[in-house]
Amino acid sequence: AALVILYRYLGDASMYSCKQLGGYPTLLQCWIHEYFPTVGKRGENWKPADNCGLPRAMRWSYRQGVLKVDDLRPILDELTPGDVIWHPFEDHRTWRLFDEICLY
């Protein structure tokens, strides 16, 4: 449910007349840092996910009030497919054999 509400607020924020973003911005910031590394900077708290021991949101440090929505729009508009990490958790997946019995 939280993602649905956040997605709705992102739709509202995409309008040119919008100056604010509603919802839970920490969740959005974590998603941005995972998928768009050129947009956000990894802070001093950043550690690899495997041996971190911290919640994902604690892996970055943020500066409050630095950029506004109008500042971020051109940055997001200039992103290319190469700037996006399409499968951020791919290295953490393990391959397992699939038995045909699972189909029944």
Q: Is 30 left (phi over 0), alpha (psi -120 to 50) or beta?
A: alpha
The DSSP code for 87 is -
> What residue has token string 């956040």?
6
The yes-or-no verdict on residue 28 having pLDDT over 60 is yes
pLDDT recorded at residue 60: 63
Longest dimension (CA), the chain: 55
Burial 90-99 (b: 16+ CB within 10 A, else e): eeeeeeeeee
Question: In terms of Cα–Cα distance, which of 23, 29, 32 is closest to 3?
Answer: 23
User: Tens digits of per-residue pLDDT, 39-94?
Assistant: 765 555 555 555 556 676 666 665 666 667 777 778 888 888 888 888 777 766 67
CB 38 within 8 A of CB 82: no
User: Tens digits of per-residue pLDDT, 2-27?
Assistant: 778 888 888 888 787 887 777 777 77
